[in-house]
Structure 1
Amino acid sequence: MFKFLDAYSIRARLFPAILGAAPALAALALLISWQHIHLSNIIATTTLLVLLFALSDFARKLGVYVEPKIYAEMGGKPSVTMFRRSDKTIEDSTKDRYRTFIAGKINQPVPSSRQESANQSVADAFYEACGTWLRTHTRDAKKFPLVFGENVGYGFRRNQFGLKWVALALNLIVVAICAALLWYRTTLDMGIDLTTRTTLVFVVAVIHAAYFAFVVTKNSVKESARKYGRELILSTEALMAPAHTSAKKAGH
């Protein structure tokens, strides 16, 4: 199943989908008899796997949809705003070195402090180009594990937040189905009391609802976005290292 997905897709897209569908997964595991594998079990399992893949793609689309709104509330994309001279997340002397280095790579002049004060949007266009260059050159997870980790963390939280209301709606549907089953007080063909299993699904649904209501928040996405933006900018130091090494060798 997982061989068709890369590490980022599994952790940042598929995992939010699995968490979003947790009550449905619990219902499938507890309310369907698995004592004997029938065609219905195979069909149900296959259908669920396909739905998980579809839901993971849907989670990404919803995450991308809410992203601009989150950035707008933050005053811009963190990898852009943290490059600004007015932002003190990273010290000015360090950012000056990074700006000069990346400017040479993308063949664009560094906006001066006066130019940035006069027109922030022009400076932000340069910082956006810097961020694009950094993302392109830090995709190797082995060379840049911290950037990759923060990127995965941000993608996970963003996509999960995008899926929040869908997950809560699915939760309500599962609870409604369980309530209907309890109303009829039927038993499984295995002879096991349906009430016990349905109660377990209710417990999962309550925990699931609490998690998405109180943990999956916009602020958690913002926090993760800042961490990723900071780590992306700081990765410039590692990208500058080969240039420093070459300069030392040339001097010797």
Structure 2
Amino acid sequence: MDMLKDLFNPYERQARLYPVLIIFLPTFVSVYCLFEDFRDLLSAAIGSIFFVGISYYLGKLSRELGKKKQDKLIIIWDGMPSTRLLRHRDTTLDVFTKERYHQYLNNHVPNIVMPKPREELDDPIKADIVYESAIRWLLKKTRDTQKYPLLFRDNISYGFARNFWALKQWGLVINLLVLVFTSAIVYERYNFDLGLIPNVVWLSIAVTILIIFFILLITKETVHSKAKAYARTLLEVCDEEE
């Protein structure tokens, strides 16, 4: 039941499963285009419960790798963007907007008092603990995806970028091997005679190259950009809820 629930969950599909399926897409396309005898077998396999199960566990792997990479990124970023945006010493937000957010969190989050600028300078670690607690409260408050659809979309966008980037090295290795394998098949069957190569083979090559370029486009900066966008949308809830 958990497996089916996850596969029907938009976040699970788009943020965790799609990165894996995109990386393996050229493999499926190449087998389908290059080996006609395997087409029925491949189609049946993709539609089987076995494939659903494999997809589920690959999605879980994507999540675990993404979270491990995220832990390293947080060190590079000097904290999650949502925490950084609440710091007095961070200048991303103007002081008036930041003050509204602090005031809202002061008034609504139980048992915390948002640090003053001097208090943050004197003990930045303690200040971050308070900010992180406030963010956890805000995340819990905004779990309703129907009420906060923009926040949900930004969360998916960040999750997809993070998990896809976490799989980047594997994705490049797998798809470069697919490209080399396809080239070897083309040489063996058609001796690189462009006039003899069928359209389906060109399709296979094009899909593989396209996915390789897409993998290269996802960088740490991409993940950071998505994380900042998600953090901004999350904190904007403080204005919406007044």
What TM-score do you get using the length of structure 1 for normalisation? 0.81
Give 1:63's aligned residue.
Answer: 66
Label 1:150 to 1:44 Cα distance change in 2 as closer, same or farther (>3 A).
closer
User: What amino acid sits opposite 1:205 in the alignment?
Assistant: T
Q: 1:28 aligns with which of 14, 31, 40?
A: 31
Q: Would you say the 8 A contact 1:81–1:87 is kept in 2?
A: yes
1:45-81 superposed Cα distances (whole Å, 9 cap, x missing partner) = 5355443333222221111111122222222110100
Q: 1:5 aligns with which of 3, 8, 28?
A: 8
Uncovered stretches (5+) of structure 2, i.e. residues with no partner? 191-195
How far 1:195 sits from its partner (Å)? 5.4
Q: Does 2:61 match 1:42?
A: no
Give 1:150's aligned residue.
Answer: 154
Give 2:88's aligned residue.
Answer: 85
Give 1:135's aligned residue.
Answer: 139
Q: Which has the larger radius of gyration?
A: 1
How far 1:167 sits from its partner (Å)? 1.0
Question: Residues of 2 paired with 1:37 and 1:25: CA distance?
Answer: 12
Aligned residues: 232
Give 2:218's aligned residue.
Answer: 216
Q: Would you say the 8 A contact 1:78–1:226 is kept in 2?
A: yes
Give 2:129's aligned residue.
Answer: 125
Question: Residues of 2 paired with 1:103 and 1:34: CA distance?
Answer: 66
Q: Would you say the 8 A contact 1:12–1:156 is kept in 2?
A: yes
Give 2:193's aligned residue.
Answer: none
Question: Residues of 2 paired with 1:36 and 1:150: CA distance?
Answer: 37
Question: Residues of 2 paired with 1:41 and 1:29: CA distance?
Answer: 9
Q: Would you say the 8 A contact 2:17–2:55 is kept in 1?
A: yes
Q: Does 2:153 match 1:170?
A: no
Q: Would you say the 8 A contact 1:147–1:231 is kept in 2?
A: yes
Q: Would you say the 8 A contact 1:34–1:41 is kept in 2?
A: no
Look up the SS of the partner of 1:53 in the other structure: helix
Q: Would you say the 8 A contact 2:62–2:163 is kept in 1?
A: yes
How far 1:222 sits from its partner (Å)? 0.6
User: What amino acid sits opposite 1:153 in the alignment?
Assistant: S
Q: Does 2:79 match 1:76?
A: yes
User: What amino acid sits opposite 2:78 in the alignment?
Assistant: G
Q: 1:203 aligns with which of 206, 224, 227?
A: 206
Q: Would you say the 8 A contact 1:13–1:155 is kept in 2?
A: yes
Q: Could you tell me the percent identity over the aligned residues?
A: 28
Give 1:182's aligned residue.
Answer: 186
Question: Residues of 2 paired with 1:10 and 1:124: CA distance?
Answer: 32
Uncovered stretches (5+) of structure 1, i.e. residues with no partner? 187-192, 242-252
Question: Residues of 1 paired with 2:200 and 2:51: CA distance?
Answer: 20
Q: Would you say the 8 A contact 1:182–1:195 is kept in 2?
A: no
How far 1:227 sits from its partner (Å)? 0.7
Q: Would you say the 8 A contact 1:2–1:10 is kept in 2?
A: no
Question: Residues of 1 paired with 2:99 and 2:175: CA distance?
Answer: 50
Question: Residues of 1 paired with 2:111 and 2:51: CA distance?
Answer: 50
User: What amino acid sits opposite 1:14 in the alignment?
Assistant: L
How far 1:22 sits from its partner (Å)? 1.9
